[in-house]
Amino acid sequence: MTYAYDNYTNEGIIASLAVDRNWIIQAGIEGGTDSSLNHSWSTTNNPAPNALFPNKTTRQDPGANPAGTFAVRYTTDDGKTNLQATANGINSGTWGYNNLQWYGLTFYHTFDEHWHISSEVYQEHQNNVPNLNNSYVMTSNNGGPIWTPLTFAYNSPGWASCSNAAALTCTATAKGFVTYLNYQIDPLNNLSLRPEIYWDPQGQRTGTAATYRNLAFGWQHWFSPQIEVRPEIAYYTANKAAFNGNANLGMAPNMKNLTVFSGDIIWHW
């Protein structure tokens, strides 16, 4: 879940500087997250101005704004430990298609030729997210961007279950933590144990305001240098019913626990 609900695509340019054998710094600029650069200047007509979107025209994507990225990475002399802190897609944080403000820390360590651990923790948020608990927002917000949930039913950016029902908008925050503990049996077989916690207190990312926990066990097997298979079994649990729903079809979630068997085949070429 940590990697399903975070930043995906940034369109821009980034530069890396190796200060010495241990330190690398990075800085860049992009057009927001999951938005093409041309959306930074694109506008559209607003068919129904309201308190959230009062003007006759509106940005096609209010969150598509120039953003900055900055990262610092440290690697030990033996190359076995790596730590990187990153601020990604940082701008005003205005709610948009996926204008996430992402602050995270990653850690990698090799114990020996068999054992390896990798971890990530992050906080991401958006500002001015429409409030699902506000009656005006739910009945009057037919204007603004063409992809608001009331006018664009499928895959529109999520709204937030704000704690203050009187507020039109609020800041929606999510936090994720995931670790992979890996053991290499031999060069063709690797086992992974993955504990995870994902906090979504306003439900803006997952659709349900809940805390999620996950424990997964996976096996990676190489038949050849080209063909790899990755079966996995994972157990998910939430502090309330958060699974087996479909917002696009108006189906409310009705399950707190979920066991998932999954896998894929990768062809490397």
Q: What is the DSSP letter of 251?
A: B
pTM attached to this predicted model: 0.91
DSSP output for 107-122: EEEE-SSSEEEEEEEE
Distances (CA, A) of 195 to 8, 19, 102, 109, 110: 22, 34, 21, 17, 18
Which pLDDT score, from 0 to 100, does residue 242 have? Answer: 95
Q: Burial, 96: exposed, middle or buried (Cβ in 10 Å; 0-12, 13-18, 19+)?
A: buried
The rounded distance, in Å, linking the Cα atoms of 193 and 216 is 6
| pLDDT score at 150 | 66
Split at pLDDT 50, 70, 90, the class of 222 is very high
